[in-house]
Amino acid sequence: MLSQLAKLEKRFLEIDSLLSRSEVISDTNQFRKLSKERAEIDEGVQLYRELKKCMHEIDEVTVLLEDSSGEMAELARQEQVTLRDRKIELEDKLKFFLLPKDQNDERNVILEIRAGAGGDEASLFVADLFRMYTRYCEGQGWRFEVLSTNENGLGGLKEAIALVEGKAVYRFLKHESGVHRVQRVPVTESQGRVHTSTVTVAILPEADEVEVSVNESDLRVDTYRASGAGGQHVNRTDSAVRLTHIPTGIVVTCQDERSQIKNRARAMKILKSRLLEKAQEEHDRLLSEERRSQVGRGDRSERIRTYNFPQSRVTDHRVNYTTHAIDSFLEGNIGEIVAVLQEKANVEALARQAISDNGL
């Protein structure tokens, strides 16, 4: 591990040197690429430097312990224990850091939420989840831009799509993909019976312009009048845009903006992210199977998380996690479950790495 970290630090210093060169500064693409690489390895390099310092201090206190007695020796022993505990902590962090990275972890994301089973109640819960993720992203200091919404008549959303921009957004949100099940008494229920509905959440990595190109000849572009709530432009101008990518059959619609040009630009951003995801799924069939198993068809029997309102309970079925603070959870306080899911993924990755290292 130390040899890997030494190489990482060497590369870090090389990048710093390159970024100071005028020819690199003037080359926007190369400068951006190197800056991104530096940001990705910065955490590991800083941990490695702290580990080296800790190891040096352990050596020093060990020598001091050999030459000390009485109270001074006891103080040295206590310091030695503290430093060794810190060394183990740093080594554990670095083990996780050196795991093979998800190529999308540092990306922005396209967040898509759609109503599954349950009719109007599912649409109402789409709106609840959309608000939950909005609040969480705001708390993280991320930029949250609504790209498209499709409202129903009760204040719910049949579909909601947003762009989330910030540091390592995909790393934090990727485990939210899947079926979210809600159990509660709908506002339309007159007899007080609890209904079960589902909503699907998809987290797509945002595509860079250089990664996905779309030929205009592969697109069918339809414009039409926006429908539903949305202002004076609704039903007055052909501002809504529907893009159909003919080779894949992917369809994207946007109608939230008054401008047809803006709606087309938003639809294109969503389309490129879906095409990127499709290309990555085809490249790695295992990831494709994992995502399909998470998102499924939106049936009530398929879920990653249940929101039970009568019991004020949220349960994530992939990990041993339950909270009875459902109101706080839906206000965007989901950081704890995000951390638990990340830890689970890291532990599983470490286990796979150990098996690989042992040649099994």
Residue 201 and residue 315 in one domain? yes
68 has a pLDDT exceeding 50: yes
16 has a pLDDT exceeding 50: yes
Residues 259, 256: Cα–Cα separation, whole Å? 9
Residue 230 and residue 124 in one domain? yes
Residues 44, 50: Cα–Cα separation, whole Å? 10
Residue 212 and residue 306 in one domain? yes
How far is C-alpha 132 from the chain's CA centre? 14
**Rounded mean pLDDT of the chain?**
85
235 has a pLDDT exceeding 80: no
Nearest CA-CA partner of 167 in 107, 78, 96: 107
Residues 109, 144: Cα–Cα separation, whole Å? 10
* pLDDT, position 303: 84
27 within some domain: yes
355 within some domain: no
Residue 320 and residue 235 in one domain? yes
* pLDDT, position 287: 44
Residue 306 and residue 165 in one domain? yes
352 within some domain: no
Out of 46, 69, 97, a domain closes at 97
Residue 39 and residue 174 in one domain? no
Q: Are the beta carbons of 230 and 256 closer than 8 angstroms?
A: yes
* pLDDT, position 101: 75
For residue 179, CA distances in Å to 54, 82, 97, 113 come to: 45, 45, 29, 10
357 within some domain: no
326 within some domain: yes
Nearest CA-CA partner of 329 in 319, 317, 316: 316
How confident is the model over 254-312, as pLDDT tens digits? 887 778 888 888 888 888 888 888 877 775 655 445 445 444 444 444 689 999 999 99
Residue 125 and residue 235 in one domain? yes
Residue 297 and residue 333 in one domain? yes
Taking the CB of residue 194, how many other CB atoms lie within 10 A of it? 12
Confidence of residue 355 (pLDDT cuts 50, 70, 90): low
Q: Which residues contact 70 (CB under 8 A, 6 or more apart)?
A: none
Residue 61 and residue 177 in one domain? no
Going by their DSSP bridges, the two strands 143-151 and 157-165 should be labelled as antiparallel
pTM exceeding the 0.75 threshold for the entire prediction? no
CATH of the domain at 240: 3.30.70.1660
For residue 334, CA distances in Å to 66, 84, 135, 193, 270 come to: 50, 33, 10, 28, 25
Residue 167 and residue 283 in one domain? yes
Out of 97, 127, 157, a domain closes at 97
SS3 30: helix
Out of 97, 117, 138, a domain closes at 97
Nearest CA-CA partner of 163 in 265, 281, 297, 287: 265
- Containing domain of residue 18, as a range? 2-97
Going by their DSSP bridges, the two strands 178-184 and 305-308 should be labelled as parallel
* pLDDT, position 231: 45
Residue 192 and residue 56 in one domain? no
103 within some domain: no
Residue 170 and residue 286 in one domain? yes
Nearest CA-CA partner of 294 in 176, 172, 183: 176
In the Cβ-directed half-sphere of 199, how many Cα atoms lie within 13 Å?
28
Q: Are the beta carbons of 143 and 108 closer than 8 angstroms?
A: no
353 within some domain: no
Strands (E), 28-116: 109-115
72 within some domain: yes
Residues 280, 276: Cα–Cα separation, whole Å? 6
> DSSP letters of 209-256?
TTT----GGGEEEEEE---SSS-TTTTTS--EEEEEETTTTEEEEE-S
Number of domains observed in the structure of the chain: 2
* pLDDT, position 105: 86
